[in-house]
Amino acid sequence: MRASFMRARFAASGACWLVVFLCLAGSACGYHVAGRGNALPAEWKSIAVPALTNRTTTYRIEQRLTEAVVHELLARTHYRVVAEEKSADAVLRGEVTSIESSALLFDTVTNRATTMLVNVRLSVRLVDSASQKIVYENSDFLFREEYDISTDIPSFFEEQGPALDRLSRDFAGALVSTLLENF
């Protein structure tokens, strides 16, 4: 009886080790954590990011977005970000094609909007300077951000600036991740 107990325990132990081995072997199947890859050419050392073009009536949105993209590239990549396209290995160009906002939530007492949704559409293109080959292009890059607005009338419009700054940072993070991961 003791021998059969030992055999059963050994078999259970072997099964556990088999499961552990299969899990470890399966984890090397090519999947990786997003944000850790770099699908851009290894020989690039610098990227030019000229100011985005603004086709909307939203004041300075192109400046906020450009600044956020430059900051994100500097923070997350090894590339130098340069102003002159002639001295860069690649050029990232963009155009803000539309920006729209709409109310999402309302205060039931005052019937004023308390949460807004902002949709920003852009056209983005990354071009290799040497070959003029398009490395990445998305002519309909859509980015959305919600923001709360105060029901206090004097501070009503003060929320838009910080919301556009948050939107710019989040957009830049999404764009740089897209470029690096080649999605």
Which tokens sit at 22?
């299969």
32-181: CATH topology is: Rossmann fold (3.40.50)
Determine if the pTM surpasses 0.85. Answer: no
Query: Rounded mean pLDDT of the chain?
Result: 81
pLDDT tens digit sequence for 48-91: 999 999 999 988 999 999 999 999 999 999 999 998 899 999 99
Element (H, E) at 165: helix 160-181
Burial class of residue 31 (count of CB atoms within 10 Å of its CB; 0-12, 13-18, 19+)? exposed
* Residues 70 and 49: beta-carbon distance below 8 Å: yes
Element (H, E) at 106: strand 90-106
Closest by Cα among 84, 92, 55, 63 to 164: 63
Query: In 10 A of CB 61, how many CB atoms?
Result: 20
Q: What are phi and psi of 82, to 5 degrees?
A: -120, 160
Of the chain, the percentage scoring pLDDT greater than 70 comes to 73
* Residues 85 and 50: beta-carbon distance below 8 Å: yes
pLDDT tens digit sequence for 126-145: 999 999 999 999 999 998 88
What does each C-alpha distance from 84 to 39, 113, 129 come to in angstroms?
23, 44, 12
* Residues 60 and 96: beta-carbon distance below 8 Å: no
